[in-house]
Amino acid sequence: MSTLSEAYRDLPHHPRHVIPLDFDSVRTLPDSHVWPPTSHAFESEDRLSIPTVDLTDPDAGKLIGHACEAWGAFQVTNHDIPLDLFHEVESEARRLFSLPTGQKLKALRSPGGATGYGLARISPFFNKYMWHEGFTIMGSSIDHARDLWPNDYQRFCDVMEDYQKKLKELARTLMHLVLKSLDISEEEISRVVSAGGDSTALQLNSYPLCPDPNRAMGLAPHTDTSLVTILHQSTVNGLQIFKEGVGWVLVSPTNGSLVVNVGDLLHILSNAKFPSVLHRVVMKDQNQQRLSLAYFYCLPSDFHISPLALSSTQMPLYRSVSVRDYIGIKAKNLEKALSLIRI
């Protein structure tokens, strides 16, 4: 099978778009990291937020379908992932990001690589840097973990493996419900869901304490490339999603619940019925480090993706494209990628 990491291998980045700042040594926000003010977002007091779906609700599938159509995102509760596991993964992520910069650079994502420590892949599209550092895992994290902690890497690997295993199960359950709500046949559902199995990535995100948070940007607006992304946020606010006709809406962390984002691949499969959601992370008033864990459920790079479940009167809006080609188009065109494969 053609792995996801292989799809990123031929898309090298210049080191200035991979190497994060030495955050510990900076006392004032460098001009390279100053962003124009961000627009006001609707806060939770405005009572406008993405829907929450209880996975044990017999109507969960229908509710998820509505949420994907109206918002491109929802929160999920009663997902069966133990709270302790989030704490363990977060604590290992904290251990990683609190290493001295020189040590973290030993696990730097290589120019043609997909995994390891570094800036977000969307970095080259912006003329300012984000206040962000990330660590990408695809499958085993042992090679990078050994570079970081030559004598003490096993715990990190075990915790990350356990998390990926549990998140894969949850992603499969969610994908079943999502595709069923689109009226896709059981056969097609199994074809998509079983193909996704090994094409996943876990991204640990850190937004360090910032000397001037109101002028910095955590993660610039983007959509994810995945089918779905399952996100766990630490207790610190920052994530906002964009809703057409409304603007930026804050998604506050709620204990134990997970945010699910529709990604570009599901946008294509659903013929734009479930639009991939534009989101960003702002640093506004942030007075402590923020962490998040993003699990991307994708498809193998040789999978050919095209709109499914079209009625006899519907026309496909997107041409068939391999995941590898779509990732390549996105790496060059970012937010224009979907329009470039539109029929």
Ligand X SMILES: C=C1C[C@]23C[C@@]1(O)CC[C@H]2[C@@]12CCC[C@@](C)(C(=O)O1)[C@H]2[C@@H]3C(=O)O
Ligand Y SMILES: O=C(O)CCC(=O)C(=O)O
Alpha-carbon gap, residue 52 to 39, rounded angstroms:
25
Residues that bind ligand Y (CB under 6 A): 203, 205, 219, 224, 231, 233, 239, 279, 281, 292, 294
- Decide if 132 contacts 206 (C-beta within 8 A): yes
Residue type, 130: M
Closest CA to 41 of 251, 204, 229: 251
Q: Does 264 bind Fe ion (CB under 5 A)?
A: no
Which of ligand X, Fe ion, ligand Y, none does residue 281 bind (CB under 5 to 8 Å by kind)? ligand Y
Rounded CA separation 115/135 (Å): 7
143 SS3 class: helix
225 near ligand X, rule: CB under 6 A: yes
Distance between CA atoms of residues 207 and 276, nearest Å: 23
Task: Enter the tokens of residue 193.
Answer: 């869901």
CB of 277 to Fe ion, least distance (A): 9
Nearer to ligand Y, 232 or 317 (CB): 232
Q: Rounded to whole angstroms, how far apart are CA atoms 227 and 178?
A: 10
Distance separating alpha carbons of residues 225 and 114, to the nearest angstrom: 14
Residue (145 or 262) nearer to ligand X, CB: 262
Contact 45, 163 (CB under 8 A): no
Shortest CB 219 distance to ligand X, Å: 6
Pair 97, 208: CB distance under 8 Å: yes
Closest separation in Å from C-beta 312 to ligand Y: 37
Please report, to the nearest 10 degrees, the dihedral formed by the alpha carbons of residues 258, 262, 263, 269 taken in order: 140
Residue 240 Cβ, how far from ligand X at the closest point, in Å?
14
Determine the interface stretch with ligand X among 73-81, 90-98, 217-225, 305-313 (rule: CB under 6 A): 217-225
- Select the residue interacting with Fe ion from 129, 224, 234, 295 (CB under 5 A): 224
Considering only 104, 109, 222, 232, the residue that binds ligand X (CB under 6 A) is: 222
Nearest CB to ligand Y, comparing residues 217 and 231 = 231
Could you tell which of ligand Y, Fe ion, ligand X, none binds residue 144, using a CB distance below 5 to 8 A set by kind?
none
Tell me which of 156, 163, 248, 296 binds ligand X, using CB under 6 A.
Answer: 296
Catalytic residue among 94, 290, 319, 324: 290
User: Is the CB of 228 or the CB of 269 nearer to Fe ion?
Assistant: 228
**Residue written as tokens 């199960």?**
169
Which one, 35 or 296, has the nearer CB to ligand X?
A: 296
Nearer to ligand Y by Cβ, of 239 and 331: the residue is 239
Q: In angstroms, give the least distance from the CB of 96 to ligand X.
A: 15
Instruction: Tell me the one-letter amino acid at 274.
Output: F
Where does 176-330 show beta strands of DSSP type E? Answer: 200-207, 217-222, 228-233, 239-243, 247-250, 258-262, 279-282, 290-297, 304-305, 321-322
Choice from 18, 63, 114, 293 touching ligand X (CB under 6 A): 114
Question: Does the active-site annotation cover 16?
Answer: no
Q: For Fe ion, which stretch binds (CB under 5 A), given 106-114, 146-154, 224-232, 237-245?
A: 224-232
Strand order in the sheet with 133-137: 52-54, 73-77, 258-262, 228-233, 290-297, 200-207, 133-137, 116-118
Q: Which region among 104-112, 181-189, 267-275, 290-298 touches ligand X (by CB under 6 A)? A: 290-298
Which does residue 122 touch among ligand X, ligand Y, Fe ion, none (CB within 5 to 8 A, set by kind)?
ligand X
Which residues contribute to the site for Fe ion (CB under 5 A)?
224
Question: Known catalytic residues?
Answer: 290
Which residues contribute to the site for ligand X (CB under 6 A)?
4, 8, 114, 120-122, 136, 201, 203, 222, 224-226, 294, 296, 298
